[in-house]
Amino acid sequence: MISERSLLPPYTSPLTIFVTGGNGQVGFELQRQLATLGNVLAPGRAALDLSDANAVTAYLATHQPDVVVNAAAYTAVDNAESDQAMAERLNAALPEQLAEYCQQQSKWLIHYSSDYVYTGQGSEPWQESDTTGPCNVYGATKLAGDEAVANSGCQHLIFRTSWVYSAFGKSFLATMLRLGAERSALSIINDQVGAPTPARLIALVTQQALTRLLSEGATLTSGVYHLAPRGETSWHGFACEIFKAAKQCGLPLVITPDGVSAIPTTDYPTPAARPLNSRLSVDKLEKALAVQLPDWQSQLALTVEEIARSR
């Protein structure tokens, strides 16, 4: 089982770890988790504009990081349909630029991707080797980023994940807790299926992967790995479990289980198409790291408990 205990590195040289997207959900958790491995650089937008390629080049040249962890992304799925240029810059051109640095300097790049690179059809969990086929601009730009990293020749790990949330920032979890405290009835989609993935788990797995990469004699093959908890649910099932956990933690709720209605995707049209099947097989990652990933329900409970403690 993945341990929440921090792992100490088996080396003495201080590392410089450059984390992009440090203000995001994953970036925030990475800063907390990777601090055990070295000096973490996570500049905000005021310090580094990631949309500016020249600024990124200058930052890399100045700080010369030993490891690059790319948690930055354009994640506004609907907005990407009309703001394609910025989505392409952050989701495709930026990882390509970071990969080029890592290839030239013989450094490792950790890059995060999405289940949206697949077609979203069927009901079987996606394997890393499955044919891709994004159904929207966001997915297409994320796939372009993955391909740029893989084709760069740099040492890399691409973690494809799904339905990311955390105790901080904007997410489906935060929205449900807010609406559940205000409304007695909600309609939630029940025919999109995946595994809700906490940013904390993503950061923890990243730390363990980096620890292995940097351990003397240890190996971890470059490539794509799926990173998500075990199990699956719909957005409706996720919402119901959120309210269950919130009630157990004493968080304020107006809504009751009877107030959460299930609706199909067709009843909730959006500018960008959504995948119906976001299931990800995690067998490859578990084997590579010799771990057993936890189920999504237990991870949600931990996150809701963290929110309750913070309040």
Alpha carbon 306 to chain centroid, angstroms: 19
Give the pLDDT score at 214.
83
Cα gap 68→99, rounded to integer Å: 9
Q: Among the options 116, 138, 165, 225, which is catalytic?
A: 138
- As given in the structure block, the two tokens for residue 291 are 């771990």
Give the pLDDT score at 5.
37
Q: How does pLDDT run along the chain (311 residues), one tens digit per residue?
A: 554 433 334 444 679 999 999 999 999 999 999 999 999 999 988 899 999 999 999 999 999 999 999 999 999 999 999 999 999 999 999 999 999 999 999 999 999 999 999 999 999 999 999 999 999 999 999 999 999 999 999 999 999 999 999 999 899 999 999 999 999 999 999 999 999 999 999 999 999 999 998 876 667 899 999 999 999 999 999 999 999 999 999 999 999 988 999 999 999 999 999 999 999 999 999 999 999 999 999 999 999 999 999 98
Give the pLDDT score at 3.
45
Q: Report the CATH superfamily, name and number, of domain 15-169+197-230+279-294.
A: NAD(P)-binding Rossmann-like Domain (3.40.50.720)
Cα gap 78→146, rounded to integer Å: 20
Whether residue 101 contacts residue 95, with contact meaning beta carbons closer than 8 Å, is answered with no
- Per the annotation, the verdict on 138 as an active-site residue is yes
- As given in the structure block, the two tokens for residue 150 are 């893989």
Domain boundaries, the chain: 15-169+197-230+279-294
